[in-house]
Structure 1
Amino acid sequence: MARVDYYQDPNAPKANSIVVAVTAFVQDDAGRVLMIRRTDNDLYSIPGGAQDLGESIGHTVVREVKEETGIDVEPTEIIGVYTDPAHVIAYSDGEVRQEFSICFRARPVGGELRTSSESKEVHWVEPGDLGALNIHPSIRLRIEHAMQNRPSAYFTW
């Protein structure tokens, strides 16, 4: 299913749903960041996705990272809670979601890089090379917050 992200766009469609989702900021021992290139919008992103019924939020992080990248992770802290109503995501089936995403820091504990139906590329990226990638502003904000090692979690105000 295709998607279009609208961020601070006065012509964006009105949200008709909200779904709990996660993203994961994962760095290897060399400090490289785990990045995917999404199949639904062709943008680079940190891995993540929606929580399933009956699943804890921590398990959502582990499952989504494994599904999209092949890497096993352990969530270690919350980087931030991103709920900006000026960021909506329109899907080709008519759903328009208001952003609601909890971004976790996670450490890799195993697995091997691989693509999936949601990720056409999976890479460990040097932090200095992130600027050259086509990353949505909402994801770039999460990466910036993670790299700052903020003393407390960010939340949309």
Structure 2
Amino acid sequence: MSFADSYLGRLRELIGDRLVLMPGARIVIECADGRILLQKRSDFGLWGLPGGNTEEGEGLGAVVIREVAEETGLTVRNVEPFGFGCDPQYETFVFPNGDQAQFVALIFYTRSFDGEAAVADDESSAVGWFAVDGLPEMLPNMMRSIEAFSGSKRPENSR
């Protein structure tokens, strides 16, 4: 789906670049050796977790599954929520085009996926697996999500 066809794209047609509150989801995908998958965002040029915003009638679990497939080509299963990103200090952004958004995101985790990670849309310029102690420059809200993941007891799915 194109941005113009998305819920947020249609909303932007009505409100312009004004601040919008956006529910969504992001996910920590961990491979067997403990590295996590990141995507380099084409808008900010920084790394972050796969994820995105809800569409009308979509639950947050479905959001994260859809967004991972759209952004990385992976199919994730057994997604488990472990945290929530909602601090306006870290979750409010002004995008390069002037659009403003404050995100509220349920953060998921999985080790269960199929496929090979690759750039699958124009939202990313690269994808890669990184050790948690060797992360590239990241968006601050994404870094906080990974810190929450590292500090939490990891859900037991597909170990």
TM-score normalised by L of structure 1: 0.78
The alignment partner of 1:23 has SS state of strand
Specify the alignment match of 2:105 in structure 1. 101
* 1:45 equivalent in alignment to 2:43: no
Percent sequence identity is 28
1:77 aligned to 2:80? yes
What CA RMSD, in Å, does the superposition of the two structures yield over aligned residues? 2.3
CA contact 2:35–2:129 (8 Å) conserved in 1: yes
Cα 1:96–1:125 change in 2 (3 A) is same
* In structure 1, C-alpha distance between the alignment counterparts of 2:103 and 2:148, rounded to whole Å: 17
Asked whether the equivalents of residues 37 and 49 of structure 2 are also in contact (C-alpha less than 8 Å), the reply is yes
Instruction: Tell me the CA shift for residue 18 of structure 1.
Output: 0.2
Q: Equivalent residue for 2:132?
A: 127
- Shift in alpha-carbon separation, 1:59–1:151, aligned structure 2, 3 A: closer
Q: Secondary structure of the equivalent of 1:103?
A: strand
- Contiguous gaps of at least 5 residues in structure 2: 4-17
Which runs of no fewer than 5 residues in structure 1 stay unpaired? 2-14, 153-157
Judging by fraction of residues, say which structure has more strand.
Answer: 1
- Is residue 62 from structure 1 mapped to residue 65 from structure 2 by the alignment? yes
**1:105: how far off?**
0.8
The aligned amino acid for 1:125 is F
- 1:7-46 alpha-carbon deviations (Å, 9 max, x no partner): xxxxxxxx72101111101101111101110111100111
- Normalising by structure 2, report the TM-score: 0.77
Q: Are the structure 2 counterparts of residues 151 and 68 from structure 1 closer, same or farther at C-alpha, using a change threshold of 3 Å?
A: closer
Q: What one-letter code is carried by the residue in structure 2 that aligns with 1:33? A: I
Partner amino acid, structure 1, of 2:85: Y
- Check if 1:113 corresponds to 2:111: no
Deviation by residue 1:82-109 (Cα, 9 ceiling, x = unmatched): 1112231123554311121111112332
